[in-house]
Chains A and B, each alone.
Chain A
Amino acid sequence: MTNLLLLIPCALFLGALGLAAFLWSLNSGQYDDLDGAAERILHEEDEEERD
């Protein structure tokens, strides 16, 4: 029973962390251009962006 008291909050916390990460990425526009995201990985980095 005591290990449950530790494990359940852990599980819930990790779940909530995942949810929060998803909501953050959604709000910061990461899902706005799914086609573009697939292409961008193929680009060479721009000079300006590297430094």
Chain B
Amino acid sequence: MHAAIAAPDIDPRVREVVPGQLHMELLAPGVHCGGCVSRIERALQAEPAVVHARVNLSTRRVSVDWRDAEAKADDIVAVVEGLGFETQPVTEQAAADAIEAREGKRLLRSMAVAGFAAGNVMLLSVSVWSGAADATRVLFHWLSATIAVPAVVYAGQPFFRSAAGALKARRMNMDVPVSLAVLLAVALSLAQTVRGAADAYFDAAVTLLFFLLVGRYLDHMMRQRARSSVTQLLSLNAAAATVVADDGSRHLVAIERVVPGMLVAVPAGERVPVDGTVATGDSEVDRSLVTGESRPEPVGAGDPVHAGTMNLGGPLQVRVTATGADTLLADVVRMMEAAEQGKARYVRIADRMARLYAPAVHILAGLTFAGWAVTTGGDLYAALMAAIAVLIITCPCALGLAVPAAQIVASGVLFRRGILVKDGAGLEKLAAVDTVLFDKTGTLTLGRPVLVEPVAIGTEQLGLAAGLARESRHPLSRAVVQAARGRGVPTLPVDHVHETAGQGLQGLSPDGELVRLGSRAWCGAAEADRRSAHTGLELCLRVGAREPVTLRFEDRLRPGAADTVAALRRRGMAVEILSGDRPAAVEAAAHEAGIGRWAAAQAPADKLARIEALQAQGRRVLMVGDGINDAPALAACHASMAPSSASDIGCTAADFVFTGDSLSAVVDAVDMARATSRIVRQNFALAIAYNAVAVPLAMLGLVTPLIAAVAMSSSSLIVTGNALRLRLKRFGDRGRTTPADAASSADAARARNAA
């Protein structure tokens, strides 16, 4: 039967570069400083099998080369994890990243070539402008030509390709007038050089390319930085499953190779990687990422579980029932795709400008040509000169920088505040938002239990509980440890700790008393009263023969939730909750956060319907959500945001991802998006004002190469300088997060995902 599998012949994480030598890339999200880098590198280099090891701090990747015969991939992983760094294999993402990185390098190379050419041609041009004449001038023009022509052919390719693509699709983008201006300027200058005439525009063509490539590279860098940050957040747990073979042996198998009928082992504290039914084991599962339900549910043999469900209690073995297109996740993806297709394609502001701008430029150049042809009585050469001067001067140098410069500065500022911007269009869209929809579990709330009762728990009791709990990965145990740490209670050493899956922990206190932490039955306490049955999140603690204490936990609102809602209201936005959780839980959260309008028990389709209804009223909706069930809504909205603790698919669907616990990130992002949109508008106004002055001069034929060069460079610099003002933006001090806080809570979120 196909459920029986042999040991996988090739480890999916590993690639053979040289015969006998293997290469592996690992993502280690915990790497955050130079110290981590050198610790990992030293530890790996100390291994005899390792040939080469290097840690990239920017992408948080460890790349290792080792001799095949001497070590296995798991040994290498064990070395890194032994230092306390969690790792994730990098597999399918790597290919996409490599393409992206190649694209970036090509832009950088083009930029270098254009910069070299611009510098040298300008050197020659300045000599011409300051009076080089006759043979010297001709020589300088020829030299300029030999530098500029190959440089334009090489460095202009990103623009030429994009322009050709747009024209083929019968669209207009900014690259069409750019390409036309550059090519015509070079052609005209060549003609001038051959004729030995006074003016050549080689410098204008290459400087133009250089400035535009700077803008293009900034844009690219921003997207790549956001992408790699998001990759770091995606927990790749679901990329592999531990398959139990018929003989009882266990193998890590890539998720694509798991087929229905296989048996998959899911240890406590890990997410179920597949859709299936429980074969053996009794446990509790947390479905909050899948359905929004905040209360853990008990499962036993025969119960269905979905991919993305967290196993809280004992180990489970799950019989796979569906893979690929049949899973719940695939349904959600289909809904997302349908939602995206239904949504009108967003046209970026620069492209909207191009639609107005490109025809205007071409008409002006045409008019200039016609005007000159008539007034000079048919001197077509002079007319062409003037028309090309118009094209060069109107070339959207500043416009090409106006948007990317502002957006990269804005995303840099947000990045330092722990908010990742996936793409510049997200900033444009967010600025226009007037309605905010929140998911509840994991978005308005932290999505993890916090100890709420008893408030006045004894220091010794909490210390003992924490001493026991630190040995366990159960979310409630973690909540106990966090509560002890948060209240400054020292953890007491507990010996002989033993965990019974689904029941609890026991150990010996320093006084030699038996300490138990777990279910009521485990501690011999009375049955649950009605109130604790309400949330179901509780633990009992029994020290020796004393009366057991019940610890109650709740999924609390994120810090700053109520302030955030109020701040959004002050900015004129309507706020609602759309949750998949029970009405009682949603109502309580809505009341606490000060949100009047809420809907509970919402399936993904219900969320979509609400968004469509709002959008039909002309509202621009921001969805903030984290779960798999939120993904279609995130995709359908005008703009979307997810916390870094969100499901992978939620992180992928959202335009923004925020790290850290505080919800004030939503307000910060909105403020920054609005400020960016103001700066972009100013930049456009500046660029248009510059054209209003320069174009009439060009039409009259008064623009010399010197004027063109000065005007273009200065307008680019002014636009960039204006964009830098965004760095000065002050945020309200609502729940200020420092980068360190953001990083540590991002780690916590990852730990939650990975656990």
Tell me which residues across on chain B come within 8 A of A35, comparing CB atoms.
57-58
**Residue on B nearest A19 in the bound complex, by CB:** B116
Instruction: Please give the number of chain B residues whose Cβ is less than 8 angstroms from any Cβ of chain A in the complex.
Output: 26
CB pair B34 A40 closer than 8 Å: yes
CB pair B56 A39 closer than 8 Å: no
**Residue on A nearest B55 in the bound complex, by CB:** A36
Known: A15-B119, A26-B105, A39-B37. A46 touches B42 (CB 8 A): yes
Which residues in window 80-128 of B have CB below 8 A to A? 105, 108-109, 112-113, 116, 119-120, 123
Counting chain A residues whose Cβ lies within 8 A of the other chain, the interface size class is 20 to 34
Is B143 an interface residue, CB under 8 A from the partner? yes
CB pair B33 A39 closer than 8 Å: yes
Tell me which residues across on chain A come within 8 A of B136, comparing CB atoms.
1, 4
CB pair B58 A32 closer than 8 Å: yes
CB pair A26 B42 closer than 8 Å: no
Is A23 an interface residue, CB under 8 A from the partner? yes
**Residue on B nearest A48 in the bound complex, by CB:** B45
Is A42 an interface residue, CB under 8 A from the partner? yes
Is B249 an interface residue, CB under 8 A from the partner? no
Tell me which residues across on chain B come within 8 A of A18, comparing CB atoms.
116
**Residue on B nearest A8 in the bound complex, by CB:** B143
CB pair B45 A46 closer than 8 Å: yes
Tell me which residues across on chain B come within 8 A of A19, comparing CB atoms.
112-113, 116
Q: How far is the CB of B597 from chain A (nearest CB, A)?
A: 44
**Residue on A nearest B143 in the bound complex, by CB:** A8
- The distance in angstroms between the C-alpha atoms of A50 and B355, with both chains bound, is 60
CB pair A12 B120 closer than 8 Å: yes
- The distance in angstroms between the C-alpha atoms of A19 and B111, with both chains bound, is 11
Which residues in window 18-51 of A have CB below 8 A to B? 18-19, 22-23, 26-27, 31-36, 38-40, 42-43, 46, 48
Q: How far is the CB of A21 from chain B (nearest CB, A)?
A: 10
**Residue on B nearest A37 in the bound complex, by CB:** B57
**Residue on A nearest B104 in the bound complex, by CB:** A31
Which residues in window 30-70 of B have CB below 8 A to A? 33-34, 37-38, 41-42, 45, 55-59
CB pair A23 B57 closer than 8 Å: no
List, sorted by A's number, 12 A–B pairs whose CB atoms are closer than 8 Å: A1-B135, A11-B123, A16-B116, A19-B113, A23-B109, A32-B56, A32-B58, A35-B57, A36-B57, A42-B34, A43-B34, A46-B41
Point out residues on B near A: beta carbons under 8 Å: 33-34, 37-38, 41-42, 45, 55-59, 105, 108-109, 112-113, 116, 119-120, 123, 135-136, 139, 143, 147
Given A16-B116, A26-B112, output 20 extra A-B contacts at Cβ < 8 Å.
A1-B136, A4-B136, A4-B139, A8-B143, A15-B116, A15-B119, A15-B120, A19-B113, A22-B112, A31-B108, A32-B56, A33-B56, A33-B57, A34-B58, A36-B37, A36-B57, A39-B34, A39-B37, A43-B34, A46-B42
The 9 nearest A-B residue pairs measured at CB: A39-B34, A36-B57, A33-B56, A19-B116, A35-B57, A35-B58, A33-B58, A43-B38, A22-B112
Point out residues on A near B: beta carbons under 8 Å: 1, 4, 8, 11-12, 15-16, 18-19, 22-23, 26-27, 31-36, 38-40, 42-43, 46, 48
